[in-house]
Chains A and B, each alone.
Chain A
């Protein structure tokens, strides 16, 4: 049952579903064009970031609960997959495990912090990521701060990694669309707009936020796992670091929070430029991100998607203005 009134009819439906499927088809066909390993790596990273970004948006966008600590889930997912593979478990079984552990962690964080309204959750997330990073650097079992190596037997097939990441990103977008158009998504939106009104209409804000947090964490955790297998080496600073959290938060903000395609666009942009930026401006890139976040919030809180919408309105208005009745 779709609670939202939308244009119906076959043509409208085709128009709505065709572009995303076309995009997916193009993305799936890309490795066939004999891309270099560097381009394929960029595409792989882009897909990983899209999955994490879409995940963040389910909580931060749909439910309006900003988290500065998604590196926790990313890192937990990465370490779960890493340990799993080294234990001889098939990588494809470790991804659901990574997602599950991340979701479990999200419950642990959400149970105390979602009980209260206000800024508690957002600030607590800064502390969580710091605390988890500290614990991980001190755990001997995974090598502590010196990192953890993943040894996988068999040849390295880059295309396989890419398709895994693409499948995850596609799944994330699919779930994001489902959530958006479900009663659950409607409840999240109600919480975002007015928690009291939502609670009065029978939405349980506590349970809804926890569920959104868990879904978001699951995708971020799986993304961490997929990246860990590709990288074959992870360390606490890299996967749990504050920069990771900043990156995951930044993507949806660039693209447009609380939209379906904003986080995808943001993840795409971030994935394509991040490596280059970090390599060229090791310190400067976070400064750029900070300026970007401030400019976006001050001038176009809708991000890239908001900018498109504004441009469309502008064009439409000019068209209306230039239309003279004869």
Chain B
């Protein structure tokens, strides 16, 4: 492998990491606040892809604008779902069997509604950008990859802003830390949970739209990405936002460079192997591992 090959792969990995972070962050907020593993994340990713696709096909809306439009639509959908499920999605301390099965059921419903509407065929969103590249001498950057990466980064920056500069964001972070103290200081826990669910679903839909610009999709689009999201948040320590970035980067690097060592038909097994490895080596995620190393260094 030459140095340019290496650089090209590295760039591809970095671009992928940004999208992966946007994809996994929705799962992290919901898990952090409510301790619900949102298996329906896969369904919302898939719906996000078709949402952008339909807007593009029927109304001729430019896919990037479609992705932007996905955010409010999926936010509303998430809030609605949370309202309908009601006491099925409580704010709890540990993930419950009931919420796990409930979100699983929701995923099955979303996925198969997808099959009913769009059938089993693969679709893709093609724009003039899709096959365009930017060249710097030997180094090529896919244009669409760069655009998707930038959109993902913008959305994540917006999220960081909301989390740190608004009361809603502060309540989310407080809820992740300690739900009882939140009640004491008067944070409206139920309302924050509902909006958080909306936020998580909104990110799922948006990320689904972004992924649809990169890959062809079918109603089963969400499943491999659900597992990847989970690998990322496990690597990140489940509830930490900075951990999500680290996790996304690790997964993207492993997947991109894994192509060199693993036949492509075994690709789906990579994320799972990484998950098992993470569970054995880094049970508290990368952030926890760093913290442990630091405390060991201090002692």
Chain B, 97-111, contact with A by CB distance < 8 Å: what is the 0/1 string?
A: 110111011111101
Q: Which residues in window 217-237 of B have CB below 8 A to A? A: 223-224, 226-227, 230-231, 234
Contact B88–A298 (Cβ < 8 Å):
yes
Contact A297–B283 (Cβ < 8 Å):
no
Contact A130–B268 (Cβ < 8 Å):
yes
Contact B98–A286 (Cβ < 8 Å):
no
Contact for B283 among A115, A134, A293, A301, CB less than 8 A? A115
Known: A66-B100, A66-B101, A127-B271. A287 touches B113 (CB 8 A): yes
Contact for A66 among B88, B97, B263, B279, CB less than 8 A? B97
Q: Is B273 an interface residue (CB 8 A)?
A: yes
Q: Which residues of A contact B107 (CB under 8 A)?
A: 290
Q: Which residues of A contact B234 (CB under 8 A)?
A: 120
Q: Which residues of A contact B7 (CB under 8 A)?
A: none
Contact B88–A242 (Cβ < 8 Å):
no
Contact B275–A138 (Cβ < 8 Å):
no
Contact A293–B266 (Cβ < 8 Å):
no
Contact for A291 among B86, B97, B109, B231, CB less than 8 A? B109
> How many residues on chain B are close to A (CB under 8 Å)?
46
When C-beta atoms are compared, the residue in chain A nearest to B110 turns out to be A290
When C-beta atoms are compared, the residue in chain B nearest to A130 turns out to be B268
In whole angstroms, how far apart are the Cα atoms of A293 and B231 in the complex? 26
- State the majority secondary structure of interface residues on A: helix
Chain B, 250-286, contact with A by CB distance < 8 Å: what is the 0/1 string?
A: 0000000000000101101101110110011001000
Q: Which of A117, A123, A284 has the most CB of B within 10 A?
A: A123
When C-beta atoms are compared, the residue in chain B nearest to A114 turns out to be B279
Size range of the chain A interface in the assembly:
35 or more
Known: A131-B269, A290-B106. A112 touches B280 (CB 8 A): yes
**A202–chain B nearest beta-carbon distance, Å:** 22
Contact for A297 among B31, B102, B263, CB less than 8 A? B102
Q: Is B37 an interface residue (CB 8 A)?
A: yes
Q: Which residues of A contact B95 (CB under 8 A)?
A: 118-119, 122
Q: Can you offer 23 A-B residue contacts whose CB atoms are under 8 A? A: A66-B100, A113-B276, A119-B37, A119-B100, A120-B279, A122-B37, A123-B37, A126-B223, A127-B271, A127-B272, A130-B268, A130-B269, A134-B265, A135-B266, A138-B266, A246-B108, A253-B101, A283-B120, A286-B115, A287-B109, A290-B112, A294-B102, A294-B109
Partner-B contacts on A (CB < 8 A): 64, 66, 68, 112-113, 115-120, 122-124, 126-128, 130-131, 134-135, 137-138, 242, 246, 249, 253, 257, 283-284, 286-287, 289-294, 297-298, 301
* Nearest 8 Cβ contacts at the A-B interface: A290-B108, A293-B105, A287-B112, A127-B272, A290-B109, A294-B105, A131-B269, A131-B272
